[in-house]
Amino acid sequence: MSKFNEPPNSFEESSTKRKSSQCYAKKVAPDGGWGWMIVLGSFIGMILGTFPVFSFSILFSPILMSHSVSSTKTAWIYNVHSLVWSLITLFIGPLCDEFGWRKVAMFGGITNSISVILSAFAPNPEYLFFSFSLLGGVGGSTALSLSFFVVSRYFDKHRGFALGITTLGGCTSSFLAPIVANYLLEHFGYTGASLIFGAIVLNQCVGGSLYQPVEWHLKSEEAKTITEEDVNEELLRSSKITSNSNDIQKKTIQGARRISAISELSTDSLCHSLINITNMPTLLEAENNNNEEDIPKNVNSVDKFLNVLKSTYNNLKSLKYMRVNLIAWGYCGLVLGYINFQMWIPFVITNAGHSLEMAAWCSSFASIGNVIGRLVMSLLSDRKFFNVRYGYMFGLFLIGSSIIERTERKEG
């Protein structure tokens, strides 16, 4: 039975009770705390997950040059890796929903390490299509995607700054990977260097071990205060949506006139209901939560696989939006232009008669501007005056114009 408050003794007491507010705590992103350990883990994963990518032209140059591999085949090996990388990204979110962040991160780290170790025993360049392009694409994509995905769940107000620190791992990797690969080649040869390099990449799992579920670290925050007048207004607003809105509206107004004090139990229920409405998760999170509730705990591997495919298909539906297509094609241009151009730098330098060490240092110093740009963007992205869209367009313009200028100067 509902427990009613005693009727107010005066009009002032009744007005006071109507204006009295009730506050409830809601769970929000920690925006710090263990979130900084997540940033550290993502930073490690970003460095080691992209290590094979930025060392490709240095680490695999002995096997590519000894077999006189054409530039076309070299481009195919590298771009098939990029293709697998991009395709696997579609499955990262659904896989995390089914198996958790840690398991997916561990799988990616082990796969990435195995890809480099198997490449050490490659009998011919074609073998790199399997070891580097396929396995390396799976492992590297897992590291990069999880780094952004997990950090975004742990931060809200400082998300731009946290993601900026995370992306610095990619710049650090582009600086260290060519130097480390060249050092290992000089002292241990191709096979030994690849084995040691694979062991270094295996430490990607260390960063993944820090990925604790965000539910463990959610902090409580006082929700928006709700008065009795807010409750009545919300009831009137919601009643208009129903088919019999007129009847409900009349009953609500009449009830508000007759009753001067609402029962404690009914007020609590309404406040909880309103807070749940204002604090609803995103559509994707709500859908994932519903899927998790519907799935029994003893699901087999086939059911999990089907759930992953179903979630991936639902995510692909976002391609019907023009903005998503524009972002996707913009990133496609970035991969085709900038990343391929960066891959060719060491080959161009060595073909010009310079040593492999010089090529490695040139590739490393090319990342200095990348570091500066990421630091500036991470500081500006959280500012209200900064337009992220224009910043992205400006970056693509700089990349394209610099590549065109370099090409024309070489031809001239």
- In this prediction, residue 114 carries a pLDDT of 95
Q: Which CATH number is 28-218+321-411 given? A: 1.20.1250.20
Cβ atoms of 47 and 334 within 8 Å: the answer is: no
User: H-type helices in 155-210, by residue range?
Assistant: 159-202, 204-208
Two tokens, residue 128: 């790199």
Query: Which region among 146-160, 288-302, 331-345, 398-412 has the lowest average model confidence (pLDDT)?
Result: 288-302
- In this prediction, residue 167 carries a pLDDT of 82
Query: Which region among 47-61, 91-105, 363-377 has the lowest average model confidence (pLDDT)?
Result: 363-377
In the chain, the percentage of residues whose pLDDT exceeds 90 is 18
What distance in Å separates the CA atoms of residue 354 and residue 245, rounded to the nearest whole number?
Answer: 80
When the pLDDT of each residue in the chain is averaged and rounded to a whole number, the result is 74
What distance in Å separates the CA atoms of residue 21 and residue 271, rounded to the nearest whole number?
Answer: 10
Q: Per-residue pLDDT for 83 more than 60?
A: yes
What distance in Å separates the CA atoms of residue 96 and residue 308, rounded to the nearest whole number?
Answer: 9
Band the pLDDT of 268: cuts 50, 70, 90: very low
Band the pLDDT of 263: cuts 50, 70, 90: very low
- In this prediction, residue 24 carries a pLDDT of 54
- In this prediction, residue 386 carries a pLDDT of 82
- In this prediction, residue 334 carries a pLDDT of 75
Band the pLDDT of 409: cuts 50, 70, 90: low
Across the range 210-237, mean pLDDT stands at 65
Between 194 and 393, name the one with better pLDDT. Answer: 194
Single pTM value for the model: 0.66
Q: Per-residue pLDDT for 118 more than 90?
A: yes
Cβ atoms of 91 and 197 within 8 Å: the answer is: no
Query: Which region among 151-155, 227-231, 291-295, 306-310 has the lowest average model confidence (pLDDT)?
Result: 291-295
- In this prediction, residue 296 carries a pLDDT of 45
In terms of Cα–Cα distance, which of 155, 149, 159 is closest to 91?
149
